[in-house]
Amino acid sequence: MSHDPLDTVIGVSESARRDTAAASKHLSTGQKLMAQNDHAGAVAEFKKATAADPSSAHALFHLAYALDLMGEEEEALAAYEQCVETPPALVNALINLAVMYEDRGDLVRAERCLRQVLDTNPNHPRARLYMKDIQASKDMIVEDEPDRDHFKRKALMDTPVTDFELSVRARTCLKKMSIRTLGDLLKITEAELMSYKNFGESSLIEIKKMLTARNLRLGQGLEDAHRAARRALAEQFKGTNKEAILAKPVTELQLSVRARKALQLLNISTLGDLASHTEAELMGVKNFGATSLKEIRDRLHESGLSLRKIDS
């Protein structure tokens, strides 16, 4: 009877003999294969490393990460869960596990993982960022979706915009803006649509009419876009000296009064929050003009960041 190689990792007994030298050798080989984008070969080596030393948190972490990249979510989840059982739990393992739990809608376990990180490092940038996202998701479920069928909602959000009765011009503009689904459309504001060249008032009216008929509105899924942008930035800066920049308060930018008020109205508190917004979102704030926009762009540039861009 055959077994999945990971079964030997997850189910190994505590009394199993450890071969740290062999584990280190396989771990090193696996890391080299990862650098060459040979994920399958790396997984094989990492599994050998965990078989040689089942208590190696580093081997389990690399195994879980490689499996996740290959789309083997169940195996990756199992490896991450075993990895964090060995104290002290690896910070990156706890954070990655939290993200996987959140993606599955298990916000309680996700929050528990992040609490472990923040209990020892209250200012950890990525942990704080993801905790904020989880808190926002919990509030959304409590306030807006108490009885909603989440699977049904996901299917609705995945509906292609081409399935709706829209004019050729409106469909063409949405396609060029990489707006493929209803979920994508709800992440865009009216100001962002109107800022796109060749997108006119008539197209906006028909899109809003289509959404209103379904009790939806432009921009209601905007926080999802901000969350995705913040996560992309966190991954981009992960492990670099720029990682802490995202958690810096916008007050450190020394902005003008008008610019500061606009950010307050948009509930923007950190540089990561600011970089997840678009120019059109800022320009949609009353009394916010081109001078304030240039000011913010220049300050962000000094920090190695920029405002989020929509495809055009």
* Class of the domain covering 150-212: mainly alpha
Instruction: pLDDT tens for the chain, 312 residues: list them.
Output: 444 444 444 444 444 468 889 999 999 999 999 888 888 899 999 999 999 998 899 999 999 998 988 888 888 899 999 999 878 899 989 998 988 888 777 888 899 999 999 998 888 888 888 888 777 766 554 444 444 455 666 677 788 888 888 888 888 888 888 888 888 888 777 777 877 777 788 888 988 888 888 888 887 777 777 777 888 888 888 777 777 888 888 888 888 988 888 888 887 888 888 998 888 788 877 778 889 999 999 999 998 899 988 654
pLDDT at 26: 93
User: Measured in whole angstroms, how far is the alpha carbon of residue 218 from the centre of its chain?
Assistant: 21
Other C-beta atoms within 10 Å of 140: how many?
A: 12
pLDDT at 22: 92
| Domain residue ranges in the chain | 1-83, 88-147, 150-212, 226-302
226-302 under CATH 3.30.43.10, yes or no: no
Pick the CATH number of 1-83 from 1.25.40.10, 3.40.640.10, 1.10.10.10, 2.40.50.140: 1.25.40.10
- Angle, vertex CA 218, rays to CA 171 and CA 183, nearest 5: 65
User: Using N-to-C axis directions, what is the helix angle for 107-120 and 91-103, rounded to 10°?
Assistant: 160
Instruction: Identify which of 111, 78, 82, 108 has the alpha carbon closest to the alpha carbon of residue 95.
Output: 111
CA gap 6, 63 in Å, rounded: 9
**What's the half-sphere exposure (Cβ side, CA atoms, 13 Å) at 77?**
14
**Same CATH fold assignment for domains 1-83 and 88-147:** yes
CATH T-level fold of 88-147: 1.25.40
